[in-house]
Amino acid sequence: MMEKEKIEIILEIIKREFEKWPKELATVKQMIEVHNNEPFKSLIMAVLSTQTKDSITSKVSKELFKIAPNFEKIIELNDEELEKILKPISFYKRKAKYIKEISKIILEKYNGKIPSEYEELIKLPGIGRKVANVFLSHVYKKDVIAVDTHVHRIANRLKWVKTKTPEQTEKKLYEVIPKHLWKDINLYLVAFGQAICSYKPKCNICPIFELCPYERKNMPK
């Protein structure tokens, strides 16, 4: 079987299984509706989510959006109030500053519309390569591959790539993944990484066990 064909089959299986996983097994599922429909919320959640568990990001974001459902309202919050809401998030003080600055810039420079170009997005405070690509692929459906630790780990276990850093993985994945799958990779592999192929992989319940070349000696009994 051709490598690209095998990758398509693996992703098809993961997508199919993904639909069946309960929310608590794949917290990223809770973020999909937001990602699909509301760019404002999606961008704020993407900034808050770095180095923070999705379940915490999801909970804190819900609280935040109750009182600040748009960029205008974020700016109106005083610093103390905003920091109090964001407290469970890692680096909450820094992120509180970021989302206020982002809100001001989007309103003043972009007339309230979040830019859809990578080069513009990464100029915003708190938005690096991964966050920009997650946003562009999930919200604007752009053909980009967003690589985080889950995507990096799983792509290496499946031997799609042999790399040391997420940046190297991103570059290699553009060569081996068929283009029509680029924007979906992050969503499905993050969920798969949370539910099954985690740091300690649950190979005994893995739906792609037969297709996975990961050395069995590394697997837990």
- Per-residue CA distances from 30 to 41, 61, 104, 161 (Å): 13, 11, 27, 29
- 95 in active site: no
Structure tokens belonging to residue 211: 């297709």
By rule CB under 6 A, what count of residues binds ligand SF4? 11
- Per-residue CA distances from 213 to 15, 180, 209, 218 (Å): 20, 24, 8, 11
Residues 6+ apart with CB under 8 A from 75: 100, 103, 104, 107
Cα 137 from Cα 93, distance rounded (Å): 27
Active-site residue identified among 29, 95, 130, 172: 130
String marking each residue 133-172 x if it binds ligand SF4 according to CB under 6 A:
------------------------x---------------
What's the distance, Cα to Cα, between the start and end of the chain in Å?
29
By CB under 6 A, residue 193 contacts ligand SF4: no
Minimum Å gap between C-beta 159 and ligand SF4 is 10
Cβ atoms 201, 189 nearer than 8 A: no
Query: Which lies closer to ligand SF4 via its Cβ, residue 61 or residue 186?
Result: 186
By CB under 6 A, residue 206 contacts ligand SF4: yes
- 148 in active site: yes
Query: Which lies closer to ligand SF4 via its Cβ, residue 107 or residue 203?
Result: 203
By CB under 6 A, residue 75 contacts ligand SF4: no
By CB under 6 A, residue 26 contacts ligand SF4: no
Helix, strand, coil percentages in the chain from 3-state DSSP, rounded to 5: 65, 0, 35
By CB under 6 A, residue 197 contacts ligand SF4: yes
Which listed range, 21-29, 35-43, 73-81, 209-217, lies at the site for ligand SF4 (CB under 6 A)?
A: 209-217
Cα 176 from Cα 2, distance rounded (Å): 11
Q: Which of 127, 182, 203, 217 binds ligand SF4 (CB under 6 A)?
A: 203
Q: What is the 3-state secondary structure (H, E, C) of 68-79?
A: CCCHHHHHHCCH
Minimum Å gap between C-beta 204 and ligand SF4 is 9
By CB under 6 A, residue 201 contacts ligand SF4: yes
Residues that bind ligand SF4 (CB under 6 A): 157, 196-197, 201-203, 206, 208-209, 212, 214
Active site residues: 130, 148
